[in-house]
Structure 1
């Protein structure tokens, strides 16, 4: 990778991460000059990064107004939750049908749960969101369906941004989400797909209600 390409990748990753975290909220203006100054880069790699972000529909570029952060549309939020529901519900059923070893399940989910608990204690929302995504990704992986794993990975950035929006709401207590995950882990280890789906319904409905 050339120095120019590395600079463009750096600008892209930096700006995208700030959008996903909510540090650059939807509707706000985004200045190429500001990103250049923050990263000590020239305009060309930053402009290339902005073009990538526009292609991903995270920002809108205008010759008059420059760049504007696109808010998460309610329809997109609903679509992401719908896809998560479909993938994870199918994964739980497949785990149960394949009679995956309960210890294998517990081991796969233990680490993201421990990270979530540590993040709550530290008040680290970003670490909590990352562990949240990793927990659900682990459930999908336990299904043994590599295509489902691939599709779930494609949703990751949008899930992270959505999670930040939901979990920064004053109505959401991180402990409640964490307890949901504990119950999901228990039901999956019991190979009880129906019980898993019931908790998942409540878990996602809580998120949907805040959007």
Structure 2
């Protein structure tokens, strides 16, 4: 039983990583056989992994055909971005009211910017996710922080999708993050929110994100 369980866990982790990194893009149909061959396992653990991924909303199962990777819909994208804007804006307003907290956060964000410049690919999406998480973590609302953390996988997948759509978006992300950091360093939460709205809309190709 334990061997079967660990095989299903491994397949689940590998397939989910392919989805989050957009190596398996939304709209793609994959079969149990393909994944079983790729992961060197039987179809049983693949079926269990697919059921778990479907329950989490990452896949839609079609008997005898395979599993469809659920694409990120326009409504979902907008709702995630609007939620992010509210949570990050709230954290920024809290942080800039405390000079010591602001200085500590800005130092962490500048280190993150340096890491951004030194990497690309899947690691870039992870570092992008970390940048925004640092801002929220610096706020003092634990409920908003937990909610934002729960969006982490969706945020990472959306960033990876943007990078697959336009490789040059990484330069925009870095430049936007630098501007966001400067706004926080200046203690200007209103400018931060305006910049964040433009950043999220531009990177994720959404017409406008309400502030």
Q: Please give the TM-score of this superposition, normalised by the length of structure 1.
A: 0.90
In 1, the alpha carbon distance for the partners of 2:206 and 2:85 equals 17
Unmatched 5+ stretches in structure 1 = none
1:9: Cα distance to partner? 1.4
Q: Is the 8 A contact 2:78 2:206 kept in 1?
A: no
Report the 3-state secondary structure (helix = DSSP H, G, I; strand = E; otherwise coil) of the residue aligned with 2:134.
Answer: helix
Report the 3-state secondary structure (helix = DSSP H, G, I; strand = E; otherwise coil) of the residue aligned with 1:38.
Answer: helix
Summarize the alignment of residues 53-92 of structure 1 with structure 2, pairs less than 5 Å apart.
Answer: 53-92=53-92
Q: Please give the TM-score of this superposition, normalised by the length of structure 2.
A: 0.90
Report the 3-state secondary structure (helix = DSSP H, G, I; strand = E; otherwise coil) of the residue aligned with 1:104.
Answer: helix
Aligned equivalent of 2:191:
195
Report the 3-state secondary structure (helix = DSSP H, G, I; strand = E; otherwise coil) of the residue aligned with 1:144.
Answer: coil
1:80-131 deviation digits (Å, cap 9, x = unpaired): 1111111101111111233443431123213321211111xxxx22111110
In 2, the alpha carbon distance for the partners of 1:20 and 1:111 equals 25
Report the 3-state secondary structure (helix = DSSP H, G, I; strand = E; otherwise coil) of the residue aligned with 1:133.
Answer: helix
In 1, the alpha carbon distance for the partners of 2:28 and 2:169 equals 27
Report the 3-state secondary structure (helix = DSSP H, G, I; strand = E; otherwise coil) of the residue aligned with 1:68.
Answer: strand
Summarize the alignment of residues 52-131 of structure 1 with structure 2, pairs less than 5 Å apart.
Answer: 52-119=52-119, 124-131=120-127
Task: Give the count of matched residue pairs.
Answer: 207
Report the 3-state secondary structure (helix = DSSP H, G, I; strand = E; otherwise coil) of the residue aligned with 2:165.
Answer: coil
Q: Is the 8 A contact 1:115 1:127 kept in 2?
A: no
In 1, the alpha carbon distance for the partners of 2:186 and 2:109 equals 13
In 2, the alpha carbon distance for the partners of 1:208 and 1:18 equals 20
In 2, the alpha carbon distance for the partners of 1:64 and 1:29 equals 12
Q: 1:111 to 1:6 in 2, by over 3 A?
A: farther
Show structure 1 runs of 4+ deviating over 6 A: none
Report the 3-state secondary structure (helix = DSSP H, G, I; strand = E; otherwise coil) of the residue aligned with 2:60.
Answer: strand
Report the 3-state secondary structure (helix = DSSP H, G, I; strand = E; otherwise coil) of the residue aligned with 1:61.
Answer: strand
RMSD over equivalenced CA pairs, Å: 1.9
Q: Is the 8 A contact 2:96 2:102 kept in 1?
A: no
Unmatched 5+ stretches in structure 2 = none
